[in-house]
Amino acid sequence: MSDEFFEEDKTEEAADGNSREAEEINETPVNSNIEEQTGESGTAAYDAAEYNAAAYDGAARSADIYSTEAEGSIYRLSKPAEGENGNEPGSSYSFWAEQVQNTGAGQTYENYQQFKENSGFTAQNGAYYQGTQGGNPEGQNKKKDGFFKKAGKFVAAAVAFGLIAGLAFTGFNEAYYKVNPNAAPIYFNIGGDGDFLINSNGQSKLLSSTAITDGKIAPKTDVTDVIDRTMPSIVQITTTYNQVYNDWFGQEYNEESQGGGSGIIVGKNEKELLIATNNHVVEGADPIKVKFIDGTEAEAIIKGTDSVADIAVISIDLTKIKSSTMDKISIAKLGDSNSIKVGEMAIAIGNALGYGQSTTVGYISAKDREVQVDDKKMVLLQTDAAINPGNSGGALLNLKGEVIGINTVKYSSSEVEGMGFAIPISRATPIIDELMSREILTENEKGYLGVYPQDVTEDVAKMYNWPVGVFVKEIISGGSADKAGIVAGDIITKINDTEITASTQLKEKVNSYRAGTKITVTLMRNVNGKFTEKTIAVTLTSNPQTNTR
């Protein structure tokens, strides 16, 4: 309503003037009066009817100048920006303003506030808005009949609307609770120092720190504490590779390139700090540099790798780490990925694009997802937390701050978003433990088997009805395999207790033992068209041959 509605004419009012004003009042549509009452407040029946109609429609919506706005799973009440047109595409507007066509768009919030004060409407924080009758505008002259005619018609229209809204609300309420007898009503109230959500027992909480879940108030999830606790156990990894190129004339050129990734501090012994990462992050790299949370750097070496599982452990000599840095870093707590459920929140931390540690948040989308990565299949956790280049080797955390996965790969496509994958920590832990216990050996100290290998993948195995493993194409005469009785045509499936499915894995496993060590090789041998399992003891030698394992 405009202020002029209550303003007393300073000049002498003519009889025909009063007649015209009466005609104008008679022509004022009821919807206009309704609209003039729908601002920050209104009658209790109006507010209740408006909310329940909106709630029944499936979404909490506000009264006219306020609207509900979804922000993730958090719903909050928000006031439109100054000058915002509620009917324009893309902006939020109220459910009831849409129904009454908002014929009083020219009225301002300040006009409404003036009307509210003049007519006796009050708003109280934490309670319904109450309307009181009999309120008189300040400074108004009661002697003017024009005013009483106008005010009388306005009040009559408001009362009529209140009765209609109350009946509608009562009818809706009865119908709704016949269908949902156990439902507990929840109401939105607006005003005071904050936006509140109030349930049927009168309890209230700020919406900025609550979420709506099945009609209940759930605390907003805040991951800052989790990140603060776990960030000291996450490191940035920078790798350097020496690549060799040949030009058209056979001239050889060396070129250095750099890569990046992330790592998780998983252990410490008397001599070294141990960090888990992806094998593809550090494979073939020299040197490998690690940056800690305090910004200091140290050089690391590869302690052990498993290319099939895409897991590596690198180590840093403790003498190369400052004591002040040791005070600031921590060892990550490894959780149980078997116990997590689809839909639980997940936090990914890593060195995205080499910019430094960053955090993304999402959910566990799937478990035990079989994914083809290069030439091997991996069973991984799927998450919609963004895993970008540089995140590889970083941690996927639960809300307890426990590592539930090692970020490893992201499905990249213009048609797909939000598909990141992590190695389940319950699968990774036994491999990490074994890699951490390995002895760091020089090339001359490593053991060699002395065979030319060929992978028998799942596809090849199905085609020829062979077991999956490593096919022995040729034996190096005088090598450890030859001396032990391994022959060409055998398919190696295990080294000690570790299953072997690829030639790179065979090399890594054999080379992790010192020359002179006795190992057990499990293989499948074709005898008269049938494969028979054999177990052979092999003593590794120290005579490396080109292109042999």
- Catalogue the active-site residues: 280, 310, 392
- Give residues with Cβ within 8 angstroms of 214, minimum separation 6: none
Where are the alpha helices (H) located in 320-444, listed in sequence order? 323-328, 425-436
Structure tokens at 481: 């395999």
128-134 contacts: CB < 8 A, separation 24 or more? 128/44, 128/47, 128/48, 128/187, 128/189, 129/41, 129/42, 129/43, 129/44, 129/47, 129/191, 130/44, 131/42, 131/43, 131/44
Structure tokens at 325: 């840095």
Tell me the C-alpha distance between 421 and 369, whole Å: 9
Q: How far apart are the first and last CA of the chain?
A: 89
Number of DSSP helices (H) and strands (E) in the chain, helices first: 13, 25
Peptide bond before residue 467 is cis, with ω within 30 degrees of 0: no
- Give residues with Cβ within 8 angstroms of 527, minimum separation 6: none
Tell me the C-alpha distance between 508 and 520, whole Å: 15
Q: 144 exposed, middle or buried (CB, 10 Å; 0-12, 13-18, 19+)?
A: middle
Which residues are bridge partners to 306 per DSSP? 311
Structure tokens at 137: 């505008």
